[in-house]
Amino acid sequence: MTLFACDSLAPRTRRLLAALLVGSIAPTLSASALAAGGSKAEIERGRYVVKLGGCNDCHTAGYAPSGGKVPESAWLMGDSLGFQGDWGTTYPSNLRIYMARLPVDQWVLRAHKMVSRPPMPWFTLHDMTDADLRAVHAFVRSLGPVGSPAPDYLPPGQKANGPVVVYPPAPPASSAPPAAAAPVAASPPIKR
């Protein structure tokens, strides 16, 4: 009889404990998950790499046209301005959502090998050090997963709904290099 009572109580007790644990731990977890790996110095480094890496030029709406005058709270949310060429139409991803979904180790692995469509300069990510990639991840996560996903990629020939930047066809890979520029006149010695 006592055994029975214990048995029927146990699941309820477990559920109660689970509820208590979720209630007390979950908020701490989500807060620290957002700040994962992000010491102040690392986040600062990530901000610097993102700025100099030009990521905002495409992944932040209006960044380049405004001379970089978009507040940081609106950075890297992707753009609905499409890039159209013989690859179809691509849209810069919302990196705030992207980084929130991708654990840092997976990001580092992916960034070293990733090949995506133009005009994403994926090849520059291959050259970044692990430390810089981690810093970029920490910085983007520190901004929080805000905004909505960018429009889906459209294959060649499919009409885009919104505005697009149209690229001319790529020159054939075998095309001759441009003629050498005229030599620059020797500059006068610098006066000290």
Residue numbers at the binding site for ligand HEC (CB under 6 A): 53-55, 57-59, 83, 90-93, 95, 98, 114, 116-117, 119-121, 124, 136, 153
Output 27 or 163, the one with its CB closest to ligand HEC.
Answer: 163
CB of 28 to ligand HEC, least distance (A): 28
- Residue for token digits 């905002």? 56
Output 34 or 57, the one with its CB closest to ligand HEC.
Answer: 57
Alpha-carbon gap, residue 154 to 1, rounded angstroms: 67
Alpha-carbon gap, residue 72 to 43, rounded angstroms: 13
Find, among 78, 84, 66, the residue nearest to 161 by Cα.
84
Output 14 or 117, the one with its CB closest to ligand HEC.
Answer: 117
Output 46 or 182, the one with its CB closest to ligand HEC.
Answer: 46
Output 32 or 116, the one with its CB closest to ligand HEC.
Answer: 116
CB of 131 to ligand HEC, least distance (A): 15
CA separation (Å) from 36 to 2, 50, 108, 111? 47, 18, 14, 18
CB of 32 to ligand HEC, least distance (A): 23
CB of 152 to ligand HEC, least distance (A): 9
CB of 59 to ligand HEC, least distance (A): 6
Q: One-letter amino acid identity for 35? A: A
Could you tell me which residues come within 8 angstroms of residue 153 by beta carbon, excluding any fewer than 6 positions away?
Answer: 88, 89, 90, 91, 117
Alpha-carbon gap, residue 137 to 114, rounded angstroms: 15
Could you tell me which residues come within 8 angstroms of residue 154 by beta carbon, excluding any fewer than 6 positions away?
Answer: 82, 88, 89, 160
